[in-house]
Amino acid sequence: MPEFVKVARTEEVAPGRAKLVEAGGKEIALFNVGGVFHAIDNSCTHVGGPLCEGEIDGTEVTCPWHGAIFDVTTGAALGPPAGAAVARYNVRTEGPDIEIEI
């Protein structure tokens, strides 16, 4: 049964930034979009580039390796060369803590 796991504190991820976190044995990219947190798999579906290191523009992140674009709110692949979405995780804040559902 899924459960929420604490992965960071709100002050660790500034607006417009990302942080690599680990939960449930997975590497997850955690994004702060205007004070709202979103989480997707960190590995690009093209060849595994680290999405947490990509350029963030609003709700989109561009993979730093080959330029695939993903929506951080849904995990959808928005631009090639990635042809498949990444997993998206439910996120909640509990006071200063950020939790991801695994």
**In angstroms, rounded to a whole number, what is the distance separating the alpha carbons of residues 79 and 12?**
29
**Structural domains of the chain sorted by starting position, each given as residue range(s) with its CATH number in brackets:** 4-101 (2.102.10.10)
pLDDT digits (tens, 9 = 90+) for 45-96: 999 999 999 999 999 999 999 999 999 999 999 999 999 999 999 999 999 9
Question: Which sign, positive or negative, has the C-alpha torsion 51, 52, 57, 59?
Answer: positive
Please choose, from the candidates 14, 1, 19, 2, the residue with its C-alpha nearest in 3D space to the C-alpha of residue 89: 2
pLDDT on residue 55:
98
pLDDT on residue 1:
83
pLDDT on residue 23:
95
Residue 32, burial from CB neighbour count under 10 angstroms (0-12, 13-18, 19+): buried
Q: Is the pLDDT of residue 30 over 90?
A: yes
**Interval 14-18 mean pLDDT:** 98
